[in-house]
Structure 1
Amino acid sequence: MDFFSEIIGETVILGLDSLILGFCVKQLSKCKHILNALQSAPVLDIDSTLNKEINKYPSQVIPYVVIRGLVKPLGNPITSNYNQSVTGVIQRLTIKEHVIARTSAGFWSDQTRTIHEVFNSTPFVLSNGKYNIEVVDALAAELLDLDVISDKFEPMSPGVIDHVWGFFSGVRQRGLQTMEEMLRDGSYITAIGELSRSSSGLKIQPPRDGLPLYLTTATKSSLLKRLASSRDFLRVLIVVFGTVAALASARVLYKYMKKRRRREAEQLMKKQLAAGRRERRANTRDKNLSEVQLCVVCTENPKEIILLPCGHVCLCEDCSENIKDKCPICRERIESRAPAFIT
């Protein structure tokens, strides 16, 4: 317990650092997996050759593929709430609360809280002329690029009571932000996912092996650069937090070895002092003793220790160190012992 109190700081640092390091390692492994899959993913055009390409793969499924096309709704599109001339296939409506909050350090900082978010979607395809590919479960996309249709901020006008309450509560209201984003009808986007063919036609959907689905305006090369940048940043983080973990571990090991050497030195000193005491006792003991006065165990040294609670004086100090549990005379449990002076 004493040793733990000495290393509690290093233990907390090592625990937090290990959690962050483990998260970074997991994210790096995921990033590498996605990067390798994206590098090897074929870039296909939505045309008559697509059916020939998919026939080359088992079960007519391409695990990861890059396809670009125009967004076209299957049925009626979604009309913007704020601009009736804008239609799309995915709509996101977000309401955010802007506040000024007091931090634990006593400073005031701007903060944003999402208090409401809703998605609306309609089935759609990526098309190129008369050729179409249906996009399945688009809302599951890890990267979904939407156009901002409307972004309005309504500031609040707090009164005196609001200012006083905000000072004591640590939160002051600034206003509400209402935002509408849409994947527009007719947008030219890149879809990256699993391509399969069924009786209803070609479909692109989230891969079944854990890879992400992307619906973005970026190209494959842009995504590769972005993922490579994330990979390099995670590597730097792993080096930094790995170094911190190594230093904290080295510090704990140093303190442990220091405490162990100190304990070994104390034990050695105790043994030397005990040996010196035994030698002095041996030199001062009376040699001409009757059998009644001798220790019942070694029958060489005088009786020097009284056992409690039974009260028997039957052991020399040397034998008393080895007998811990029961009195050798009455077999009663030994709770304590004390020196006995027999005159």
Structure 2
Amino acid sequence: MDYLGEAIALGVDAIIFGACMKQYLKNKNAMSMIQGAPYLDIDKDLKEIVQTHPDQKLSYVSIRGMVKPMGNPIVSSNNPKVSGVVQLLRIREHVIQRSTAGFWSDHERLIQEVHNVMPFVLDSNGYTVEIVDPVAADILDMDVISDVFTPTVPSVMDHIWGFFAGVRQRGVQTTEKMLRKGTMITGIGELVASKDGSTLKLQPPTNEAPFYLTNMQITSLVRKLDDTKKTYRWLCLLFGTVGLVLGGLMARRFYKDYCKKRDDLRTREELERNRVERRRRVRDDDLPEIHLCVVCRINPREIILLPCGHVCLCEDCSTGIVDNCPVCRSAIDKKSAAYIS
């Protein structure tokens, strides 16, 4: 318990540092893989290139083409003139919540999130590559079709209930995003040929490499990841330094406490040896039997036991007898020094 505060602070810092380091390494590895991935044009030679590789698969490539639905596209719920292949509908509740300290702060609650997906391909000059599981992409760039915030008009009872419950609703935000048909996007992932070799598919890599469907060019994507990597690197340095400082302070305090306890123990042992030796020198070697300790029969009686009042123990033996008087077996409540003249 002596180091509980420092231990909690160090633990929180270690968790944050670990999360930042994980994101830093993730972005660093993603940059390396993207820069090493070959860029292939969607043309008549692409299918032959894939089929010449083992298992008719290219583990990590980048391609670029126009989004084209493989059926009737999804029509926007808020704008009938807009259609696409991936639709995201999200409803969030905005509330003001009272903390344990009594302060009110804004919070968001996700009420519902729905993805609607229409199978689609990337098209380039009539040659196509089907996209598999686009929702699983690490980056899926979609246009915001609608983002509406509807404020709540609370009644008097709502104010009273919110005060006692500690939660007040501010409003509901409804957002619609869509990957529109005709959008030029860059797909980075695993390129495979179907079993019959008739179609090509871009899917999330089986080696857990990142999967991207973005409207950015490769250079822009790498630049974005590099900026994110630099941010996490600085955060790693910051929280790593804080962790080292906290660890150093804890180690310094532990060492000081350890040295203090060690010195106190040595001091007590030295004082005890001096006390025993001093008492041994001042004791009378020729004591009557009635003045000897009833336990060791060597040292003089020096301790009175209360409440029975028996003076029957020397100081050395009294340290090991804490429950009952050795003479009358009464419970010992207190020990005091006795002086027999």
Q: TM-score range by the shorter chain?
A: 0.7 to 0.9
2:5 aligned residue: 9
Residue of structure 1 aligned with 2:191, choices 195, 207, 230: 195
Residue of structure 2 aligned with 1:259, choices 257, 260, 270: 257
Q: Deviations over 1:3-30 (max 9, x none)?
A: x33x322122111111111111222222
Q: Deviations over 1:133-180 (max 9, x none)?
A: 111111111211112223334344334444454455454444333332
Q: Is the 8 A contact 2:51 2:193 kept in 1?
A: no
Q: CA 1:151–1:254 in structure 2 vs 1: closer, same or farther (change >3 Å)?
A: closer
Alignment of 1:276-295 (within 5 A): 276-288=274-286
2:54 aligned residue: 58
Residue of structure 1 aligned with 2:138, choices 120, 133, 142: 142
- Give 1:226 deviation, angstroms: 1.1
Residue of structure 2 aligned with 1:89, choices 80, 85, 90: 85
- Give 1:204 deviation, angstroms: 0.6
Q: CA 1:324–1:47 in structure 2 vs 1: closer, same or farther (change >3 Å)?
A: farther
Letter in 2 for 1:237: L
Residue of structure 1 aligned with 2:208, choices 210, 225, 242: 210
Letter in 2 for 1:205: Q
2:326 aligned residue: none
* Identity across matched positions, percent: 48
Q: Is the 8 A contact 2:90 2:176 kept in 1?
A: yes
Residue of structure 2 aligned with 1:21, choices 11, 17, 20: 17
Alignment of 1:38-53 (within 5 A): 38-53=34-49
Distance in 2 (alpha carbons) for counterparts of 1:203 and 1:51:
10
Distance in 2 (alpha carbons) for counterparts of 1:324 and 1:142:
73
Q: Deviations over 1:59-95 (max 9, x none)?
A: 2322211110111111222222233332211111222
Q: CA 1:293–1:152 in structure 2 vs 1: closer, same or farther (change >3 Å)?
A: closer
Distance in 1 (alpha carbons) for counterparts of 2:110 and 2:287:
93
Distance in 2 (alpha carbons) for counterparts of 1:156 and 1:337:
72
Does 290-299 or 50-59 show the bigger shift? 290-299
Letter in 2 for 1:267: L
Distance in 1 (alpha carbons) for counterparts of 2:248 and 2:239:
14
- Give 1:111 deviation, angstroms: 4.3
Distance in 1 (alpha carbons) for counterparts of 2:151 and 2:34:
44
Residues matched between the structures, number: 333
Structure 2 residue 38 is matched with structure 1 residue 69: no
Q: CA 1:163–1:262 in structure 2 vs 1: closer, same or farther (change >3 Å)?
A: same
Q: CA 1:82–1:291 in structure 2 vs 1: closer, same or farther (change >3 Å)?
A: closer
Structure 2 residue 108 is matched with structure 1 residue 115: no
The DSSP-based 3-state class of the residue aligned with 1:43 is coil
Residue of structure 2 aligned with 1:236, choices 234, 237, 240: 234
2:221 aligned residue: 223
Q: Is the 8 A contact 1:137 1:205 kept in 2?
A: yes
Q: CA 1:56–1:227 in structure 2 vs 1: closer, same or farther (change >3 Å)?
A: farther
Distance in 2 (alpha carbons) for counterparts of 1:340 and 1:178:
86
The DSSP-based 3-state class of the residue aligned with 1:186 is coil
2:243 aligned residue: 245
The DSSP-based 3-state class of the residue aligned with 1:25 is helix
Q: Is the 8 A contact 1:305 1:337 kept in 2?
A: no
- Give 1:314 deviation, angstroms: 10
Instruction: Return 5+ residue gaps in structure 1 as ranges.
Output: 308-312, 326-334
Instruction: Return 5+ residue gaps in structure 2 as ranges.
Output: 306-310, 323-331
Distance in 2 (alpha carbons) for counterparts of 1:300 and 1:193:
91
The DSSP-based 3-state class of the residue aligned with 1:91 is strand
- Give 1:107 deviation, angstroms: 5.7
Distance in 1 (alpha carbons) for counterparts of 2:334 and 2:150:
83
Letter in 2 for 1:250: G
2:175 aligned residue: 179
The DSSP-based 3-state class of the residue aligned with 1:46 is coil
Letter in 2 for 1:80: S
Letter in 1 for 2:46: L
- Give 1:316 deviation, angstroms: 6.8
Does 192-201 or 47-56 show the bigger shift? 47-56
The DSSP-based 3-state class of the residue aligned with 2:33 is helix
Letter in 1 for 2:223: K
